Amino acid sequence: MTSLPQHPSEGSERLRPTVAVARAARVLAAAGIDAPRVEAELLAVHVLGVPRGRLALADGLTPDQLDRYDALVARRADREPLQHLTGSAAFRHLELAVGPGVFVPRPETELLAGWGVDQARAGSPLVVDLCSGSGAIALAVAQEAPAAQVVAVERSPAALAWLRRNAADRAAAGDRPVEVVAADVTDPGLLSDLEGRVDVLLCNPPYVPRAVEVPPEVAAHDPDEAVFGGADGLDVIRPVLARAARLLRPGGVLGVEHDDTHGAAVPALLVADGRYEAVEEHRDLAGRPRFATARRR
The catalytic position among 81, 91, 103, 291 is 103
Report d(CA 127, CA 150) in Å as an integer: 5
Going by the DSSP 8-state scheme, the letter that residue 61 receives in this structure is B
Would residue 223 show up in a list of annotated catalytic residues for this protein? no
Report d(CA 11, CA 73) in Å as an integer: 21
Residue 47: closest CA among 8, 21, 81: 21
Would residue 91 show up in a list of annotated catalytic residues for this protein? no
* Type of residue found at 181: V
Helix residue ranges per DSSP H, 121-156:
136-144
Helix/strand/coil percent split, the chain, to 5: 40, 20, 40
Let me know: does 204 contact 174? Beta carbons within 8 Å. no
The catalytic position among 81, 125, 204, 291 is 204
CA atoms within 13 A of residue 42's CA, in its CB half-sphere: 17
Report d(CA 119, CA 174) in Å as an integer: 22
Residue 140: closest CA among 122, 156, 119: 119
Let me know: does 142 contact 170? Beta carbons within 8 Å. yes
Strands 179-182 and 198-203 turn out to be unpaired
The catalytic position among 81, 125, 205, 206 is 205
Let me know: does 290 contact 258? Beta carbons within 8 Å. yes
What's 242-259 look like in SS3?
A: HHHHHHEEEEEEEEEECC
Would residue 205 show up in a list of annotated catalytic residues for this protein? yes
| CA distances, 144 to each of 109, 113, 139, 268 (Å) | 15, 10, 9, 31
Catalytic residues: 103, 204-205
